[in-house]
Amino acid sequence: MKFHDPHAIAFLNASAVTAGYVVLFFLPVFALEPALLARFITYIVMVAGGAILFAGTYFFFRYTVDKFIYSKIRLIYKSIYSIKAQKTDRQRFRSNRNILDNVEQEVAHWGEEKQKEIERLKQLEEYRKDFIGNVSHELKTPLFNVQGYVSTLLEGGLDDPSINKEYLRRTEISVERLIKIVEDLGEIAQLESGQIYLNKVRFDIVAVTREVVEMLEIKAHEKEVQVIINQPDKPVWVHADRDKIRQVLTNIIDNTLRYGLDQGGRTKISFFDMDENILVEVTDNGIAIDQEDLPRVFERFYRTSRGREISSKGKGLGLAIVKHIIEAHQQTINVRSTVGVGTTFGFTLRKA
């Protein structure tokens, strides 16, 4: 029995009062030595009185201590949960023998939870700061370019046939890039807030891959990269959002062209049956990704230094979108890469 237990407090007090009663009333009766019958009746009355006194004292203390603890705990509960303690809670507290231990544990648990929440909010704040920093940094370059070209044109360049058309064309490229960044950011924000509607249908992933490869054919031809689909005529049925998966394939295959070898590049797309899922793998023999960069390529705006050197067009948003799309399908995406050999991106899709 713990001494801070309301039951123990009531029990000890009741025992003390009853002991006092025994000393005060029983002993004089002994001392007076009345007749046997009178003594017997007196004993009965005294024992009954003692029992009633014990029970009365016990319940009085139990009630008072419970009430006191309840009033204190109600305040604690109110402040940690910001709620109004219900009347029924009192019953719950009273029937609970280890009420103080429980409150101690609950308060400690609440403290831990709050600490975690603070950490999470700090992380979110960091994330938000990074995000704003990244966005303004990415928007700055094309905006300054537009400003530079427009100023030059206004300051007389418009009448100079050697630059006027060229500067307008460059302005258009920068504006297109701005639009693309804003569109990609909008898409990421939508994906991150979980507001994504997937229109899942049964379709042939090989056919969609063929469409993507055809769409990128000119670019592949310019870069002299050979794009091969493994078993292009054998359908592989999956259950997913067709347009979103086309977007995934477009970015991954486009990356193999962008970060592939200028000549002699080779991109291969293969499909593997994995019981419930289909694994799609896109392999290239391009510039590769260093091991320390691998876990970061799916972050927004993250670009490797070799990637930046080889292409100024990248925004570092494609793979972030890809990862969100695959995760929204409750599937996985991974990447492996070896410098001097190339890179493989693999993602799974539900088989249909």
Ligand X SMILES: Nc1ncnc2c1ncn2[C@@H]1O[C@H](COP(=O)(O)OP(=O)(O)OP(=O)(O)O)[C@@H](O)[C@H]1O
Angle at CA of residue 99, ends 95 and 105, nearest 5°: 140
Angle at CA of residue 192, ends 191 and 196, nearest 5°: 30
Whole-number minimum distance, CB 336 to ligand X, in Å? 11
Record the tokens describing residue 344, joined without a space: 């493989």
The C-alpha atoms of residue 140 and residue 69 are separated, in whole angstroms, by: 62
The C-alpha atoms of residue 69 and residue 75 are separated, in whole angstroms, by: 10
Residue spans of alpha helices (H) in the chain: 6-21, 27-32, 36-81, 87-95, 99-154, 164-192, 205-215, 217-223, 242-258, 305-310, 318-328
Closest residue to Mg ion in the complex (CB): 318
When asked if residue 256 is in the footprint of ligand X (CB under 6 A), the reply is yes
Whole-number minimum distance, CB 292 to ligand X, in Å? 13
Binding part of the chain for ligand X, among 47-55, 78-86, 204-212, 303-311 by CB under 6 A, reads 303-311
Among 205, 289, 333, 349, binds ligand X (CB under 6 A): 289
Site residues, Mg ion (CB under 5 A) = 251, 255, 318
CA distance from start to end of the chain = 64
Contact criterion met (CB below 8 Å) for 212 and 249 = yes
Binding part of the chain for ligand X, among 40-48, 149-157, 162-170, 253-261 by CB under 6 A, reads 253-261
When asked if residue 265 is in the footprint of ligand X (CB under 6 A), the reply is no
Whole-number minimum distance, CB 294 to Mg ion, in Å? 15
When asked if residue 304 is in the footprint of ligand X (CB under 6 A), the reply is yes
When asked if residue 142 is in the footprint of ligand X (CB under 6 A), the reply is no
Whole-number minimum distance, CB 205 to ligand X, in Å? 19
Binding part of the chain for ligand X, among 107-115, 195-203, 240-248, 283-291 by CB under 6 A, reads 283-291
Among 99, 103, 316, 348, binds ligand X (CB under 6 A): 316
Record the tokens describing residue 131, joined without a space: 């995000």
Whole-number minimum distance, CB 251 to Mg ion, in Å? 5
Binding part of the chain for ligand X, among 63-71, 205-213, 233-241, 249-257 by CB under 6 A, reads 249-257
Query: How, if at all, do strands 342-351 and 265-274 pair?
Result: unpaired
Among 280, 318, 325, 349, binds ligand X (CB under 6 A): 318
Binding part of the chain for ligand X, among 9-17, 69-77, 236-244, 252-260 by CB under 6 A, reads 252-260
Q: Which is nearer to ligand X, 90 or 315 (CB)?
A: 315
The C-alpha atoms of residue 127 and residue 188 are separated, in whole angstroms, by: 14
Q: Measuring CA to CA, which residue among 266, 278, 196 is closest to residue 236?
A: 278
Residue 349 contact among Mg ion, ligand X, none, beta carbon within 5 to 8 Å by kind:
none
The C-alpha atoms of residue 247 and residue 190 are separated, in whole angstroms, by: 15
Q: Which is nearer to ligand X, 12 or 175 (CB)?
A: 175
Binding part of the chain for ligand X, among 76-84, 138-146, 205-213, 318-326 by CB under 6 A, reads 318-326
Residue spans of alpha helices (H) in 270-332: 305-310, 318-328
Residue 284 contact among Mg ion, ligand X, none, beta carbon within 5 to 8 Å by kind:
ligand X
Q: Which is nearer to ligand X, 93 or 345 (CB)?
A: 345
Q: Measuring CA to CA, which residue among 139, 167, 143 is closest to residue 155?
A: 167
Residue 317 contact among Mg ion, ligand X, none, beta carbon within 5 to 8 Å by kind:
ligand X
When asked if residue 246 is in the footprint of ligand X (CB under 6 A), the reply is no
Distant-in-sequence contacts of 94-100, Cβ < 8 A, 24+ apart: 94/66, 94/70, 97/5, 97/7, 98/5, 99/6, 99/69, 99/73, 100/4, 100/5, 100/69
Contact residues toward ligand X (CB under 6 A) are 251, 255-256, 258-259, 284, 286-289, 297, 302-304, 307, 314-320, 343
